[in-house]
Amino acid sequence: MRLRLLFIFLFISLFASAQYSFSGYINKDEWQNSVYLSIVEDYRKMSGVYAEQIIAKTSADSTGFFEFKGNMLDAENRIYRIHVDKCSDMQKDINHFNGHCSESEELLFIANNTDTIKLPFSFGNQVFCSVESSNPKSNAFVKIDSLKNDMRFAYSEVRTEANRKLNNKKWFKALQAYGEALNEPIAELAIFAYLSDRSSDLHSYYVEDLQNSTYYDNLETRLEETYPNAPYTVQYKNELAADRYMLASFNGTLSNSNWNILLYFLLAISVLLNLFLFLKTWKQKQSKTEDLKSKLSKQEQVVLEHLLEDKTNKDIAEALFLSVSTVKTHINNIYKKLEVQSRDDAKSLFAK
């Protein structure tokens, strides 16, 4: 009997451990009560707030504490973002939709479905400056941001064209080497996105380096070995191929007609890539939605559909010929099985 109980305890412990927990504190006097968790599958959209990336929403309690937890994330490392903002409820949809909120604070981190991450207050009650995690890769983006701050300071010491050029060359290589030393290819992509950005002063060094360096092929190999099925890998390979095609065309003789063909080709690649990422994200969301609904009984699924249509308990009871108390019982069971606290939380799981 004792052996059986021990086996059951160990089984439950193993099952319970396969869950993520991302928690922290916000200053409620400074930020809105809502906290958002997003998954970033496009490394060109690491900075900003995008509605299509948001996968969960929670509310901080009276002390400012918040937590996201569950077991629905990828088993592999992925890039996630937690953010808060000062937008009013009327502004939120607009700001989250267009990828910008002028008064927001965010943190990028790497995690998987089994990680525990804590974001305590740092000096002066600043949020999202410190990361305590069971995953040693989690704070890679914090380290990269720290290095970028060092770079900005170096540029500001002497504001001359000569100093800027010297710093461009130095920091291009320094950032690239630092990303490789992190031994986490999806963190390297943050640096690649920064160095290859056409609006960056460092882009000319990227164009030159792309023709002479093996770094980019090595990064592709690291991504394929570590994340063969991740959207980041597909995106990187397509972008690299497009940039090299453009360079090859520029190095040869490019007539006006060939230039138009090149532009159409790159446009087609961009459209196909965006379509691929959209369909992949949509399929993943559909799969997760079906997994969530499978936890519910048939009756609870019907009640959930009415709940998602913003119907009141009374409206649901009349539509399904049930008592209001029975509807309340079903809704409470739905909350427990979906691990949410409110109607808004439930609707956020199935948001289109």
Is residue 350 pLDDT above 90, yes or no? no
DSSP state of 33: S
Helix axes 231-251, 215-226, angle to 10 degrees: 160
The gap from C-alpha 141 to its chain's centroid, in whole angstroms, comes to: 12
pLDDT in tens, 221-237: 999 999 998 999 999 99
Is residue 339 pLDDT above 50, yes or no? yes
Give the strand order in the sheet containing 34-40.
54-59, 34-40, 78-85, 104-111
pLDDT in tens, 78-109: 999 998 887 755 555 555 545 556 677 888 99
Instruction: Provide the pLDDT confidence category of residue 22 given band limits of 50, 70 and 90.
Output: very high
Instruction: Provide the pLDDT confidence category of residue 288 given band limits of 50, 70 and 90.
Output: low
Taking the chain, what is the end-to-end CA distance rounded to the nearest angstrom?
49
Instruction: Please answer whether residues 40 and 81 qualify as being in contact, where contact means their C-beta atoms are separated by less than 8 angstroms.
Output: yes
Is residue 14 pLDDT above 50, yes or no? no
List of long-range contacts for 27-31, beta carbons under 8 Å, 24+ apart: 27/64, 27/121, 27/125, 27/127, 28/60, 28/62, 28/64, 30/86, 31/84, 31/85, 31/86, 31/105, 31/127
Global pTM value: 0.64
